[in-house]
Structure 1
Amino acid sequence: MMAARGGQNVARSTKPMRYPDATSEAVMTRRGWWLVLLGFLIPGSAQVLAGNRKLGRVALAATLTLWFFALAGLGIFFFARDWLFIVLEQTWLLYVARVIMIAYAILWLVLAIDTLRLVKFVRARSGARFGIAGLAVVLMAAGTGGALYAANIVGVTGETLDDVFQDGPVADPVDGYYNILLLGADSGEGRDSMRFDSISVVSVNAETGQVTITGIPRDMPNVPFAPGPMADMYPNGYEGHADAECGWEGKINQLNTELTLCRNGADFYPDAEANGSTPGIEATKDAAEGVLGIEIPYYAFIDMSHFANLIDALGGVEINVTERLPKGGGPAYEGQSADEWAIGWIEVGQQRMDGDTAQWYARSRYTTSDWDRMERQRELQAAILAQFDPQTVLLRFQDIAKAGSDLVSTDIPKGLLAKLAGIAEKSQQLGMTSIELVPPLVDPDYPDYAAIQQLIHDTLHPVVPEEEGGEG
């Protein structure tokens, strides 16, 4: 009997968590605080020290495994970000990770409840019982909620990538550039008659990361086409067409209307739908190639009817307004002043715009020219990109992802994201070059397309002067 008691005393002295002095309120109180804290900091440790060791070892193994992958992910994010997008291409991995994180959240909840059982509140000081219980509940909510939030982010990321990007092959850079046609329009009134309000081409230098954005006026007339079905139909440039039921002018933003309403677009571009595009977009892409004299493999369409949602998801956007602009659809009759028809005004000065105001800032046209409108749209695009800082994205991730998947459609393959991410940091160090094909650079009524193509070539491929003293 004495030997047994002596063994118990030795066990209590060497393993106070598992064999505490249950008669001492001070000991049980300290033990309670430690079990709750250790269970949060190292899930499974409370069970290994004071409870079911088998459960604790399973939890510790799961915890250490997740820590390993979390540290590996942070290392990739900060030191090899292009590899991150290579992983993200395999969206099935994200769905598996979501299931694992949900399972871990459930395990954490089970461990937290079991830890409360191990604390033995009735043995602790009465004044400390509520404190230990309150801390346990807060930490349980933080741990379980954090794991579920991480699972949600991972799952939403996979869904957004699958919704927006394609699974096709990646085209090589064209003459050293990744060229993407960027289109903007409002689909609110139905896409069947949608015309592109904003047309531009983003060219990213595959080596340096230099970004050049070329704005093409939506009313640019008689545009030439790259070789293809539209060039066969209009060998002398886009002439347009008109009849009693369906009419359009020979301007670049009419192409979507022609191939959507007035012709069977699939006859011209039979593979467009299967490749994540549309005949109208492909015709516009051929026109942009003809105007600029460069090959454009991809497009990205910005649906302006969802534009405001993205701005609001970001918490607003900072813009310095240099000219007072009206909100509203324009005058109801000739000679009506803006003060009569405007539903509101965007005032001059630095301001943080919500989605509705930003949308009017991009659309407002009746007191300024189309060229001014194009410039404001580019300004707004740049401001939105500047808002995508890690803190904003993390705090508003689900809203941003939802707005983004509604806002953008593209035929860019997921595989290209890794390549673009690899040069993104270089791009941030360089100033963005912007070219607007508007007066005085270009005559809007009679554009010289040969001169435009030469301008684009000289901009994208500048002549580097030879160093003095070199060999002749």
Structure 2
Amino acid sequence: MLALTVVGALLPGVGLIVGGRRKLGTFVLAVSVALIGAGVYVGIARPTAVVALVVSPHKLLIVAVGLVLVGLGWVWVVVASHELVRPLTMKRVPRLAGALLVGVLSFAIALPTTAAVSAVLSQRDLIGAVFLPGVDSRSATRPTVNVRDPWANRPQLNVLLLGGDGGTDRTGIRTDSVMVASIDTHTGVTHLISLSRNWMRMPFPANSPLHKVYPDGFWDPSLGDVEQPEYYLDAMYENVPKAHPGILGPTDNEGADVLKESVGAAVGLPIDYYVQLSVQGFEKMIDALGGVTVNINYPVPIGGDYGLGPGTRGPRKPTGYLQPGPNQKLDGYRAMWFARGRYGLDDPSRQARQRCTIQALVHSANPATLVARYQQIAAAGKQMLRTDIPQELLPALVSLAVKMKHGAITNVDLDAAKNFPTGRDPNYRAIRELVQQALHPVSHPVSHPATTRHTSKPAPTQSLAQLCAYHPS
């Protein structure tokens, strides 16, 4: 009897058939087999359908309701099967053993069902909170695309990655990290382009209203050729919207739209979307993933401030340092300082560490971790992310992310020593040329006594695997 109860739980419908409810049992068994078969088929043969499912709040709600109904139905089948196969003349002890077994089986069904429903609802909450439908969000710079085939005429997708947050020692938000990810939509090959936080004279496109205000870039000519921290790249997110509110038109994040236009003009690429990361959310995301593993090639400061701005109290030394070593496992707090620490270091070194942090974050997001910690990851994602990517584009973006997983990720070297030895007047024209050379290497004719041949000029790129390897100085 107990064995039949277990079999009836593992193969829903068998217990009903043995207990005499043949038609009902056959129907339940057929439905169970059909559901399993459909799941296997969709997972193997229709992965795009799975992608469309996990990024659709409406479909996720249907899945959650379906899981609840399946779980309740499965428990009912277990109880009903036990009642049918249980002898009417059973003594008290076997009866109690059977009831206990039914309770254990029901709990074994309810526990994973509840966890699955909770994960589905967390995913739905995350998608709904971060990625708004196009009709419910406003952007002054977002392109119009055909969501059914968004990459039809778009060989490159350019996404602006912004990192930064407010603090007790500053007013508003400073985007300390500004990076462009240029993704080949056919191959998934990704080029990362980092901009220095202290660049001045950031340009605007000729057709932008901001170009009329700042025809020579974002700076104040009346102050002369000196350092102007309030006209640095990292101050644009806060200062431009304050000085010219609404100049770009209706938008939910004017600071991000300002940077999309200006960064796009600086590197010579049309910026499609932005993704903004907060420091607090970043720390929680790293902790939710169980930490990240990086190579540390030199001491990296924790904290510290030069105290150069107006109203500051002078320099403040770091509270400690991340010490050099290979394969260092960092929690969220230390990973944040690995990416942001700059006291005594230059911006190019910090930009390199930021790119290595992104690579480590991608490597940490393995399937086992995502399943085990999904609710914490989703909660951190809600605090960490802000974007103008429309919800309708998510299926195509997830498919592109799969290509990126297998494609190379490289760093574009903008030649700091030559093109921006200081932040006052970067050579934006040379920077644009380097970016185009990296994304689209061209052949140049080379004279030869016998014939003329073509050689490809090497692109100024570096593999992230090489950049982030352990090579202490």
Q: TM-score range by the shorter chain?
A: 0.7 to 0.9
Quick one: distance in 1 between partners of 2:170 and 2:18? Answer: 64
Aligned to 1:154: 120
Quick one: distance in 2 between partners of 1:113 and 1:82? Answer: 37
Mapping 1:387-402, distance limit 5 Å: 387-402=364-379
Q: Residues 460 and 240 from structure 1, CA distance in 2 versus in 1: closer, same or farther, beyond 3 angstroms?
A: same
Quick one: distance in 2 between partners of 1:207 and 1:291? Answer: 25
Quick one: distance in 1 between partners of 2:219 and 2:58? Answer: 48
Contact preservation (8 Å) 2:303, 2:343: no
Quick one: distance in 2 between partners of 1:200 and 1:256? Answer: 14
Aligned to 2:324: 348
Q: Which amino acid aligns with 1:305?
A: Q
Quick one: distance in 2 between partners of 1:120 and 1:83? Answer: 43
1:75 Cα deviation (Å)? 1.6
Contact preservation (8 Å) 1:177, 1:206: yes
Aligned to 2:219: 239
Q: Which amino acid aligns with 2:237?
A: N
Mapping 1:32-71, distance limit 5 Å: 32-34=2-4, 36-50=5-19, 52=21, 56=25, 59-60=28-29, 62-71=31-40
Partner-residue secondary structure (3-state), 2:419 = coil
1:271 equivalent to 2:241? Answer: no
Larger radius of gyration: 1
1:124 Cα deviation (Å)? 6.5
1:53 Cα deviation (Å)? 5.2
What is the Cα-based RMSD across aligned positions, in Å?
3.3
1:299 equivalent to 2:265? Answer: no
Partner-residue secondary structure (3-state), 2:396 = helix
Quick one: distance in 1 between partners of 2:254 and 2:170? Answer: 13
1:196 Cα deviation (Å)? 0.4
Partner-residue secondary structure (3-state), 2:63 = helix
Aligned to 2:286: 311
Quick one: distance in 2 between partners of 1:372 and 1:117? Answer: 70
1:114 equivalent to 2:114? Answer: no
Partner-residue secondary structure (3-state), 2:178 = strand
Quick one: distance in 2 between partners of 1:69 and 1:84? Answer: 12
Contact preservation (8 Å) 2:192, 2:411: yes
Q: Which amino acid aligns with 1:346?
A: L
1:58 Cα deviation (Å)? 5.8
Q: Which amino acid aligns with 1:218?
A: R
Q: TM-score, normalised by structure 2?
A: 0.80
Contact preservation (8 Å) 2:419, 2:430: no
Partner-residue secondary structure (3-state), 1:179 = strand
Match of 2:382 among 391, 402, 405: 405
Partner-residue secondary structure (3-state), 1:295 = coil
Q: TM-score, normalised by structure 1?
A: 0.80
Quick one: distance in 1 between partners of 2:38 and 2:393? Answer: 24
Q: Which amino acid aligns with 2:343?
A: Y
Contact preservation (8 Å) 1:225, 1:287: yes
Q: Which amino acid aligns with 1:117?
A: E
363-372 vs 293-302, which moves further: 363-372
Quick one: distance in 1 between partners of 2:54 and 2:343? Answer: 44
Partner-residue secondary structure (3-state), 1:323 = coil
Cα deviation digits, residues 285-336 of structure 1 (max 9, x gap): 1111110111111111011121111111111111122222332344787677
Query: Which structure has the highest helix share of the two?
Result: 1
Q: Residues 295 and 45 from structure 1, CA distance in 2 versus in 1: closer, same or farther, beyond 3 angstroms?
A: same
Aligned to 2:68: 102
Aligned to 1:195: 174
Mapping 1:129-208, distance limit 5 Å: 135-168=101-134, 170=145, 172-173=150-151, 176-187=155-166, 193-208=172-187
Contact preservation (8 Å) 2:266, 2:432: yes
Q: Residues 56 and 464 from structure 1, CA distance in 2 versus in 1: closer, same or farther, beyond 3 angstroms?
A: farther
Partner-residue secondary structure (3-state), 1:208 = coil
Aligned to 1:371: 348
**Structure 1: tracts of 5 or more residues without a match:** 1-30
Cα deviation digits, residues 217-254 of structure 1 (max 9, x gap): 111110111231211211111124999xxx96322222
1:37 Cα deviation (Å)? 2.0
Match of 1:456 among 435, 440, 448: 435
